[in-house]
Amino acid sequence: MNLPLNFDTAEPWQTIVKIALMIAAVYTIAVISLFLKGNLLGGSLLVLFGLAFYAMLRRARRISMGAKGRLTRDGVTVHPVRVWGFSLNMPSGEFALDRFAAVGVVERILIGLPNRTSQSDSGTVQLMGRPGTPNIEVMIGDIEAAQAFAEELSAALNLELKDVPVPGQTIRRYTV
């Protein structure tokens, strides 16, 4: 593994946030136009649904939205990421390498659909922070690539390699 390593796992989240902001802008224009036309009932209903959707998005705000930064043999520097003035929920700052306990691989199982060409599960490689240090996502990809990357990173940084369950799930390995 070649260090220093620049990483950006926030890029998919930047796209998602841009799409959500564009939808919010169109929605706002629709609400304003209904009120300007005198359709108070239609505008009020759209405002009500908009408030319910906003409440749901506030819960999603707690999800970590990747990270962008640079990993060296001594530490990690993570930069804040903004999309059109809105900050993404991610760690930022400089962290010494001794503040991390392990390299973790999070496996997300994808349900195969008959018309889908790619059937592989996805994986996220994280630096697992000790108490008081955030977990930092350094790679997202298919599970085979994530496992290989995590093994190399673990060896390069001399950190333990761990399988990390998705919140609410348990890892069970079976051999047949």
The confidence score (pLDDT) of residue 170 equals 64
The confidence score (pLDDT) of residue 141 equals 86
Separation between Cα atoms, residue 17 and residue 3, nearest integer Å: 30
Separation between Cα atoms, residue 7 and residue 146, nearest integer Å: 13
Peptide bond just before 4 cis, omega within 30 deg: yes
Residue 17 has a CB neighbour count (10 Å cut-off) of: 19
Separation between Cα atoms, residue 55 and residue 18, nearest integer Å: 19
The confidence score (pLDDT) of residue 103 equals 92
Q: Could you tell me how many residues make up the chain? A: 176
pLDDT digits (tens, 9 = 90+) for 1-37: 788 889 988 888 888 889 988 988 898 899 999 899 9
Cut 0.85: pTM above it: no
Residue 170 has a CB neighbour count (10 Å cut-off) of: 6
The confidence score (pLDDT) of residue 174 equals 66
Residues with pLDDT less than 50, the chain? none
The confidence score (pLDDT) of residue 48 equals 92
